[in-house]
Structure 1
């Protein structure tokens, strides 16, 4: 089995990309490091491509390992033949390999194994290999009361059980039925509760296994788990039974067709199809879960990469009803200045008192923006805030932020370490304020799966979800880079090559010795060895370093080449530090890009990255994004009109569309068919959580409180360039 050739064909990659990517991964390099600093070797594979590559490589390596195990296990039984070796070697999936191994796997006591213990195997072989068998007569020879064979019927039934299990273990039969179920089978669900409204769509539902959408699979699974739906896979049973009977009937057992048909029916209905049905359901679930996890990851990436609101004093407003709204004010750097609790919502409704308290705090701390969590009582709180800021002279606006995971953070060990003397409930308001100032720095403190942006995230494989989301966080953090002199250890531990322990050591070193003055000082941190330095150095920023390259994404291994490039273009390091490279593109063009690469011994891809980095040291790619919508007034559903155009924030992306916050109580839905005039296969290819979009109202349902939106024929906002 040539893994490299399989990867080359499946992933449409070139031979050198496959070989180099495997080599780099096996050497222990991280995905962010490979994606960013080994572009020439990988043909500029992205971090997403590399993670998909790694997943497939791991599967294929496990497949090879399992093939070797199975050949060894069968050989230990003295049953390994050239035919089995060929079949195992040609198998393309783990399922195929397990099918081949099934007849040789040690089984629990079954009807067939009991029949074999009773000495009925030769009677079974007689049915398979002898013509016109008079079973009743032959079975008399197997009656043995000591073995529990009291009659010819028991003997015959036992022989049939042995053949039924043999058919069930036939890899070719299983493959035929499995492929038929996958390609021609139907998923059928029925409701057990005629009053159910949640799963109404699936109360009498039929769809092809081959085309069922992932989110429908997960919905059906949940309905079945809750006992509301009954679900089954339907195929042409008679066709399958006919196939088995034909395969096991021939000249060698002519005259036994009727009993073989009977055995085929039993084997199919009792042993094969229930197993295949489970496999197909598991297959659909695996596809659906992987899709849901991918959507979750893309949404999380969107949240993490939202543009930060810098240099603003923010009031975090954590809405609630009975327990009151928690308030926390943080300065421009996220430091807690003040906190309190107010009760402007039901049941207390202390609106005037709450306004008075908050107006004083706004004036005292010169608050610029109020960050309101989007959870329970959010819209009531928004109405209160809009009223309040209309009554004050100071220019204050508000924004609704995704508060997912704030309560998880509040009760965490990290939150306790950061704010040991602050009540747990107030910590959530601090998080809501800070995630407006720097979404990524705050969100990395929360376990990714607790940031609920996706579909059916509670119905997916938790281990796989954690694995993928951790990768998303790592890639997002390393795309931005981290200021080593201000970052918390919870942010530092997501830098490529930096473990949690080393991240804490970096903070400890900083506390003891003051700010890092240069990238090489990182080597003095306890347990941060050469390998960790190599992986992490390019993703670390030091704004006030003596070498301006320490505040860029240029890797230290390329410093010498970078300095040569700067010199060849008639610049100085002072020019880099002072941001005086405005005409660098024209100088590169005049010098000749290819010649510049040759003269500095740098690859094309690396050269492009170096030039972009030295143009603007310390640049944050998030700054070019569209900033969150700041509001000063609140809208009601009744204020909407058909064809009204509004700006909104994408709050969630699912397979059938995107939910957009347009400032009313419930988010509006942009169905996938209303996103673009062009056909869209996946919503996540176009939209992600946190995107600012312009929409048009196309449907208003006052009774159900729902709004339909469209992005067609609506001019979309542009990011800063």
Structure 2
């Protein structure tokens, strides 16, 4: 870790220098973000995973800038053009854009007209025209260099002058600021736009403009998509008339009659600066929009993965369909397949609806399966025929007075998993649809364990995620999955190799080795046995052990978040409180702490108070699941149709997606309803994620129903009170 880089990074971050230094020291030593966030809180001042990744990213940016500065300095020095002033400017630059502006005149590029003119000896002429506005042009005619006339000489000198203005770092900096502060993004429909947008998806941007500094990330991505589809044209208008006035006042005030000078700086702006800055601004806007969209996706993915599990329930997974039938699969509380079947409550062939007798047969099969396996919950995928299936299930529940509830489960990505090699290995004798029904059931039982098997990009909980760069999106996905899995922890004796791969300190190899060891030697009875797993060394054990749980093992502490390194501390704590190990998980822990000063106790034990608090929480409730504090799924036994909804109607729904302009809520009809950002709260909302998250159960009121377009507008503000 370079100390200069450390100090630079610390000045760019909203944390104390000591926190940044501690975090980078720990990361450099090979510790993972989850491990540091949970087990090194005192050292970092309680920094969480987001903060730790921000510190690492900022340090990398500082390193990248320093490397680029050195490359630029070396490149200019090799040309013999590196002056003390230029070196000072480059070394003082705080961003890559400034460095590149300073490097531009010295950058190796394809031969330009200006370079050819310099080679023809026209640079002295250019200087004369710039400073005096006149010269003996005929003196610069050089047939051997292609300068045959005075017109050729003037044209070449103009190219030199225009390029010089175009590469002027100070002028480019001013222009950039002008574009950013006063430029307007302007979009217009192309002549062929209607042909490329028959459904008018991008109608908003047919004739639209907005200041650069006010444009929202989702608008940038929408504009980019519409432009790529050939629907609109996009430009940035910085108000050229103002810029021309600025250029005249800056360069022509002392030479108002120098036409060569005016032509050069105007051409330099139009041909070099304006197109380059426009491309740069649009690139920057896109990068910022991508960063924002990636964060939106990551935030939504985190809340999706962290949804409360329905543990200990026998669940019937329902993969809905029309002609091919609804695939049903019953899984026990551990996710093991108990039974499967196919029923046809909707259609038997294309366009031929099931008869009442056929629907009755399907109902009998469903009831028999529910009763035989004592099904407690039905998880219905939200794909094609989802609402029809929900209506059918609701009718069966009511007619037979079944003590069963159903849930509409987001099945996005289920087909991806079902066709994967992993699914084929798990269920080699089942077809894709049957595997999908199992996946849907398991998503309700334990969302994290099941969704981890699917490419998160196929889940669909973001905005324009299919337009986002794979590298950035994948990095965010990896970080979110790592955070989620390690916050929850996994059962060492049931976790799949895929799930274990995301545990702190484990690699794909060590994860598979754990499963292989388990298969060969039987279930783990304690965490220490991990040290016998091939290729799982001391560092990997240190990083991983606290996140791996042994349920009903030899040591109750192995079923907690308490790290093995703290077991001696726990024993001293119990002794200090007059407790025995068998009292862990009982009310005795809380009673023994009544009237005890935790700060004093921490000092006596030689441990940080934060760590002590974490240990006590686990001693009170071994095996606690972080997700228990998350909203439970919204259970239903009846369904609604879009036609049933009227303005002002009060409903409950589940937040399925949160985007920059609001949230989409499932209220039990075919289409999710949009709660626009303006309808989230009576208070001003800058970011919808400050109010709602994926998986939240919310109260909403119907604003408008558009049955033709199948659109539903909702509000989270009660019409009676406005709250």
TM-score bin, normalised by smaller chain:
over 0.9
Residues 1:545 and 2:553 aligned together: yes
- 1:376-525 pair list within 5 angstroms: 376-525=384-533
Query: Are the counterparts in 1 of residues 327 and 434 from structure 2 also a CA contact under 8 Å?
Result: yes
Distance, in Å, in 2 between the alignment partners of 1:435 and 1:359 is: 22
The corresponding residue for 2:364 is 356
Distance, in Å, in 2 between the alignment partners of 1:689 and 1:374 is: 16
Residues 1:97 and 2:99 aligned together: yes
Distance, in Å, in 2 between the alignment partners of 1:72 and 1:537 is: 48
Query: Are the counterparts in 2 of residues 184 and 208 from structure 1 also a CA contact under 8 Å?
Result: yes
Distance, in Å, in 2 between the alignment partners of 1:714 and 1:27 is: 57
The corresponding residue for 1:114 is 116
Distance, in Å, in 2 between the alignment partners of 1:148 and 1:355 is: 90
Residues 1:208 and 2:211 aligned together: yes
Query: Are the counterparts in 2 of residues 543 and 551 from structure 1 also a CA contact under 8 Å?
Result: yes
Change (3 A) 1:418 1:644: same
Q: What SS is found at the alignment partner of 2:321?
A: coil
User: 1:156 deviation in Å?
Assistant: 0.9
Distance, in Å, in 2 between the alignment partners of 1:481 and 1:255 is: 74
Of 295-304 and 686-695, the range deviating more from structure 2: 686-695
User: 1:116 deviation in Å?
Assistant: 2.4
2:201 to 193, 198, 202: 198
Q: What SS is found at the alignment partner of 2:611?
A: helix
Per-residue displacement from partner, 1:586-643 (whole Å, max 9, x unpaired)? Answer: 5335232111111111111111111111111111121233321111111112322333
Distance, in Å, in 2 between the alignment partners of 1:238 and 1:156 is: 27
Change (3 A) 1:115 1:372: same
Query: Are the counterparts in 2 of residues 666 and 705 from structure 1 also a CA contact under 8 Å?
Result: yes
Query: Are the counterparts in 1 of residues 318 and 378 from structure 2 also a CA contact under 8 Å?
Result: yes
Per-residue displacement from partner, 1:280-324 (whole Å, max 9, x unpaired)? Answer: 001111111111110111111111111111222211111223433
User: 1:126 deviation in Å?
Assistant: 2.3
Change (3 A) 1:119 1:67: same
1:74 to 73, 76, 80: 76
Query: Are the counterparts in 2 of residues 300 and 472 from structure 1 also a CA contact under 8 Å?
Result: yes
Per-residue displacement from partner, 1:203-260 (whole Å, max 9, x unpaired)? Answer: 1111110111111111111111101011110002233344445555586xx5763211
The corresponding residue for 2:625 is 620
Q: What SS is found at the alignment partner of 1:590?
A: coil
Distance, in Å, in 2 between the alignment partners of 1:660 and 1:29 is: 40
Of 285-294 and 332-341, the range deviating more from structure 2: 332-341
Query: Are the counterparts in 2 of residues 133 and 256 from structure 1 also a CA contact under 8 Å?
Result: no
Query: Are the counterparts in 2 of residues 245 and 260 from structure 1 also a CA contact under 8 Å?
Result: no
Distance, in Å, in 2 between the alignment partners of 1:72 and 1:212 is: 39
Compute the TM-score of the two structures, normalised by the length of structure 1. 0.94
Q: What SS is found at the alignment partner of 1:230?
A: strand
- 1:165-244 pair list within 5 angstroms: 165-192=163-190, 193=193, 197-244=200-247
Distance, in Å, in 1 between the alignment partners of 2:594 and 2:126 is: 83
The corresponding residue for 1:265 is 266
Of 77-86 and 655-664, the range deviating more from structure 2: 77-86
The corresponding residue for 1:719 is none
Query: Are the counterparts in 1 of residues 163 and 268 from structure 2 also a CA contact under 8 Å?
Result: yes
Of 512-521 and 387-396, the range deviating more from structure 2: 387-396
Compute the TM-score of the two structures, normalised by the length of structure 2. 0.94
Change (3 A) 1:242 1:110: farther
Q: What SS is found at the alignment partner of 1:631?
A: coil
Distance, in Å, in 2 between the alignment partners of 1:289 and 1:101 is: 27
Q: What SS is found at the alignment partner of 1:693?
A: strand
1:154 to 152, 155, 171: 152
Q: What SS is found at the alignment partner of 2:637?
A: coil
Per-residue displacement from partner, 1:395-446 (whole Å, max 9, x unpaired)? Answer: 2221101111111111111111111121122211111111111000000001
Distance, in Å, in 1 between the alignment partners of 2:428 and 2:38 is: 39
Distance, in Å, in 2 between the alignment partners of 1:329 and 1:707 is: 34
Q: What SS is found at the alignment partner of 2:714?
A: strand
User: 1:713 deviation in Å?
Assistant: 4.5
The corresponding residue for 1:370 is 378
> Cα RMSD between the aligned structures?
2.0
Q: What SS is found at the alignment partner of 1:613?
A: helix
Of 646-655 and 255-264, the range deviating more from structure 2: 255-264
Change (3 A) 1:434 1:111: same
Distance, in Å, in 1 between the alignment partners of 2:80 and 2:148 is: 35
User: 1:532 deviation in Å?
Assistant: 0.9
Distance, in Å, in 2 between the alignment partners of 1:626 and 1:714 is: 25
2:570 to 559, 562, 568: 562
Distance, in Å, in 2 between the alignment partners of 1:708 and 1:464 is: 33
Of 184-193 and 473-482, the range deviating more from structure 2: 184-193
Distance, in Å, in 2 between the alignment partners of 1:212 and 1:372 is: 39
Query: Are the counterparts in 2 of residues 241 and 261 from structure 1 also a CA contact under 8 Å?
Result: no
Q: What SS is found at the alignment partner of 2:329?
A: strand
Q: What SS is found at the alignment partner of 2:309?
A: coil
Per-residue displacement from partner, 1:155-200 (whole Å, max 9, x unpaired)? Answer: 1111111121122221111111111101111011111235662111
Query: Are the counterparts in 1 of residues 39 and 611 from structure 2 also a CA contact under 8 Å?
Result: yes
Distance, in Å, in 2 between the alignment partners of 1:142 and 1:340 is: 91
User: 1:393 deviation in Å?
Assistant: 4.3
The corresponding residue for 1:667 is 672
The corresponding residue for 2:312 is 311
Query: Are the counterparts in 2 of residues 695 and 714 from structure 1 also a CA contact under 8 Å?
Result: no
Distance, in Å, in 2 between the alignment partners of 1:644 and 1:32 is: 44
Unaligned runs of 5+ residues in structure 1 are: 716-721
Distance, in Å, in 2 between the alignment partners of 1:147 and 1:7 is: 52
Q: What SS is found at the alignment partner of 1:591?
A: coil
Query: Are the counterparts in 1 of residues 24 and 55 from structure 2 also a CA contact under 8 Å?
Result: no
User: Number of aligned pairs?
Assistant: 706
Distance, in Å, in 1 between the alignment partners of 2:341 and 2:353 is: 16
Distance, in Å, in 1 between the alignment partners of 2:391 and 2:402 is: 18
Query: Are the counterparts in 2 of residues 569 and 591 from structure 1 also a CA contact under 8 Å?
Result: no
Of 228-237 and 106-115, the range deviating more from structure 2: 106-115
Q: What SS is found at the alignment partner of 1:622?
A: helix
Query: Are the counterparts in 2 of residues 474 and 494 from structure 1 also a CA contact under 8 Å?
Result: yes
Q: What SS is found at the alignment partner of 2:695?
A: coil
- 1:697-708 pair list within 5 angstroms: 697-708=702-713
